Structure 1
Amino acid sequence: MDISQKIYYRNLQKISGSFFVSLPKKWVENYKLHSKSPVSIEIRSDGLLLIS
């Protein structure tokens, strides 16, 4: 499944003072992740978040 060129839009959510963004289900399934899988989030100098 090629999901590399698709743009997904998500709303920012706030729970108990923390902010969350949900990941697209197809992306999670494509990389065989689950609810406790670690992911890295890189904050780039241009403000871009890189999730891997």
Structure 2
Amino acid sequence: MILYKKDVIDKLSEKTGLYKKDIKAMLVALNELVYEERIYCVVVIKSMRQISAASCRR
């Protein structure tokens, strides 16, 4: 299933009564949050792999 940004914005605007520009801003903020969390998860996973590799060498 493909979600198109315009369709999501239109549906949220219709259901909530919020302005489309406010919904766009909310989606941008949500996208940034998700991106930051993905970066954090990658860093944590890499760190865990390094710790695991170091403990296996002992």
**Fold match, TM over 0.5?**
no
Q: TM-score, normalised by structure 2?
A: 0.29
Question: In terms of Rg, which structure is larger?
Answer: 2
- Higher RCO, 1 vs 2 (CA within 8 Å, ≥6 residues apart): 1
Q: TM-score, normalised by structure 1?
A: 0.30
